[in-house]
Amino acid sequence: MAILGQIQRRSGVLIGIIALALFAFVIQGLIKNSSKIGTGNSSVIAEVGDKSIPTREFQQRVALLQKQNPRLSNMQAMKAVWDQVIKEAVLNNQYEKLGIKVGKDRLRELIVNNPSIKQAFTNQQGIFDENALLDYIENIEKSQKSNPDAYLGWKRFENNLIEAEKEKIYMDLVKASINPTLKEGEWLYHFENDAVDFRYAAVPYNTVPDSLVNVSKSDIEAYIKSHPDQYKMEESRDMEYVFIPIKPSTDDFKTIENDLKNLIKDREVFDKATKQTIVKKGFKNTDKPEDFVAEHSDVNVPARFYFKNELPKEFADTLIQMNAGDVFGPYKVGEQVYLSKVLETKKIPDSAKASHILIAYKGALRANPDVNRTEEQAKKMADSLLKVVKRNPAKFADIAKKYSDGPTKTKGGDLGWFTYGRMVPEFNDFVFNGKKGKIGVVKTNFGYHVIKINELTAPEKAVKMISIIKNVEPTEKTENKIFGDVSKMTSEAMQADDFDKFFKEKGYTPKPVRKIGRFEDNIPGLGINRPVIKWLYEKDRKIGDINKFDLNKGYVIVKLTGKHNKGLMSPEEASALIKPILIKEKKAEIIKKKMTGGTLEEIAKNAKAKLGTATGVTLKNPIIPGFGREPKVVAIAFVLEPKTISSPIDGNRAVYVVQTLKVIKAEDIKNYIPYVEQLKKQREAGINNKVTKALKKANEIEDKRNLIY
């Protein structure tokens, strides 16, 4: 009991540590690679070399990650955990080979120096109490049976520290092997500072019409085979779909419209209390329109003034011409039906420009904590400032900068232009019921405002209107009809020769989606929809198969249009990527044949090339004016003997022939160490990801997620 008491007294700390541990555990690792469980067994989700990752523990981590990040979908969490467990597996293999371990003494140091631990065990004097921490750990160890959750949470926290430390040790060893030499530092210095001047003749690729080159399927196949690493692809599926929403029918709208029509006029109703028939006022004659709306409306919008441009476009001309007491409707706006009544009309400006000096007081809305004046003091101060600015309005901005508590203080209180109804009611009424130049004091929830009206637009008619708003939902009859129509369309689509044509004739446009991965769950335009993706990947699924799926607010009819297996892209799949490359190569060959002659001038004449000169070009910034970056061309200019004319060079934008004028070598410096350090930083950048990627590539990884997900 004593142990439990101590744990309870530290419950706040315990919860924080365990929460940290659980989250960190999900990201950094609880799962230890177990011994081989067996191939083809759903109890194993992955094989990494000679190690296995158990499915049960993998799913526990997915669940924990989702618990810590509720916004993550199941597939998003699964992908994140997958990346982490594979990383852990390949790194643990390295730890074992190198004998990397974290001993008890080092673990103790990691715990003691952990920022969260330091914060949790700092006493009232602001001093870290290590003895309290050690007592706490001892109690946690002793409570293994009585409080297993606390014990497990702590062990996970320790495990996270251990895994992070082992990764740090390993990556530090890798970084220690990165040691650029002084010669490499010297090379980098000259790479950045040496320059070259050269002349060139250039023929842009776009001067050769595309019609003169032909790229065949065999050309693309050959290119893929010669560049296999660039055109690998993961397993994916293509589909197209039609979404059919469940929407209210015309009859559903008519029913609501009829209900609203019955609310306009007075009607006789039986009063149960008096057991007599009484006349209940309708919307037209009620003297309590706000209460009437509150009783009958699905959406309660307070009455306010509307200008013509704020009213529904198709009804604006009618509504703005109404007079007080007039009722209009029912009328449809989107998926709602309105019945509107005008309470008042008047001509008012729709926009104003004003300045104010806000004098806040303690307790006012959004008042600065430093404000200590009372409400009475604030009013007195506002009245005093009012007298000053009324005597000399030109001082308004200066006084606002000095005394205002509002965010516009630095602007001299200038609020700029604002529309009717944007400000709080008291502020709004003062400005829009006043005249240009008027200055006065108004109280709002924010404090006392000294307000000066700077500009007002010309008054125009506005109607103060209140509306009964009814949401229209599809009835059961409508839903049943839509279900029947969708089922019939699905069946007919399966028999149709052309999916697109069939649905376009029905008034729907199918949407294509390409390259959906097996473990994705989001479909563009549909959102999270795992059942559709699972269907696409079913074992016997064939291209052309069609199926219907129920969604929350409709149905989706899906057609499988393509299946792509893991491996190299097909010529059709890679065509859009490779064809431009091959077209450029073939154009280069056409251009090169014309680039003949003993001088640049002759070459330019024969090939209709552009002559030019580039000066002071470096390897670090290999830009040819008018053509952009051309590293290959500039590199050749650096090594070419002066006055020598190069062979044609296929660059990024054109084919070039260059003639080096001179290479300007930068003067050697005494110390190249800064450049060595620069190289070291460049090579260390992102080293963790680079090493992990290389280790994953070096290990044989068997993915068995398709047996589970």
- CATH number of this structure's domain 355-455: 3.10.50.40
Cis peptide before 330 (omega within 30 of 0): yes
pLDDT at 552 over 80: yes
Q: Which of 266, 260, 271 is nearest to 284 (CA)?
A: 266
Question: Residues 484, 487, 489, CA angle at the centre, nearest 5°?
Answer: 110
pLDDT of residue 556: 97
Q: What tens digit of pLDDT does each residue of 491-542 get?
A: 999 999 999 999 999 999 999 999 999 999 899 999 989 999 999 999 899 9
Residue spans of alpha helices (H) in 640-707? 673-684, 687-698
d(CA 512, CA 616): 51
For residue 467, the cross-strand partners are: 340
The domains spanning 195-234+571-664 and 236-247+474-565 adopt the same CATH topology: yes
Q: What architecture (CATH level 2) is domain 236-247+474-565? A: Roll (3.10)
Confidence of residue 150 (pLDDT cuts 50, 70, 90): confident
Cβ neighbours, 10 Å, residue 405? 21
In this structure, the chain runs to a length of 709
**Interhelix angle for 74-98 vs 11-28, to 10°?**
80
- Calculate mean pLDDT across residues 611-634: 96
Q: What tens digit of pLDDT does each residue of 337-364 get?
A: 999 999 999 999 999 999 999 999 999 9
pLDDT at 426 over 60: yes
- Calculate mean pLDDT across residues 565-591: 93
pLDDT of residue 144: 83
- Buried b / exposed e along 594-632 (16+ C-beta atoms within 10 A): bbebeebeebbeebebbebebeebbbeebebeebeebee
pLDDT of residue 28: 41
Least confident of 19-28, 189-198, 232-241, 394-403: 19-28
- Calculate mean pLDDT across residues 469-478: 95
Confidence of residue 24 (pLDDT cuts 50, 70, 90): very low
Helix (H) or strand (E) holding 304: strand 304-306
pLDDT of residue 12: 41
For residue 53, the cross-strand partners are: 46
Question: Residues 482, 487, 489, CA angle at the centre, nearest 5°?
Answer: 95
What separation in angstroms does the CA of 67 have from each of 54, 317, 709? 20, 54, 19
Least confident of 80-89, 272-281, 450-459: 272-281
In DSSP notation, 461-478 reads EEEEEEEEEEE----HHH
pLDDT at 268 over 90: no
In DSSP notation, 427-462 reads HHHHHHTS-TT-EEEEEETTEEEEEEEEEEPPPEEE
For residue 343, give the 3-state DSSP assignment: strand
User: Which has more pLDDT, 49 or 560?
Assistant: 560
Q: Kindly state the DSSP code that residue 212 receives in the 8-state scheme.
A: G
Q: What tens digit of pLDDT does each residue of 652-671 get?
A: 999 999 999 999 999 999 99
pLDDT of residue 31: 36
- Mean pLDDT, the chain, rounded, equals 90
**Strand 460-471 and strand 610-617: pairing?**
unpaired
Sign of the CA dihedral with 494 first, then 498, 503, and 508 last: positive
User: Which has more pLDDT, 374 or 34?
Assistant: 374
Q: What tens digit of pLDDT does each residue of 430-469 get?
A: 999 999 999 999 999 999 999 999 999 999 999 999 999 9
| Contact criterion met (CB below 8 Å) for 25 and 164 | no
Q: What is the pTM of this model?
A: 0.68
For residue 349, give the 3-state DSSP assignment: coil
d(CA 29, CA 164): 9
- CATH number of this structure's domain 195-234+571-664: 3.10.50
| Contact criterion met (CB below 8 Å) for 269 and 277 | yes
pLDDT of residue 34: 35
pLDDT of residue 64: 84
**What are the structural domain ranges in the chain?**
2-176, 195-234+571-664, 236-247+474-565, 250-348, 355-455
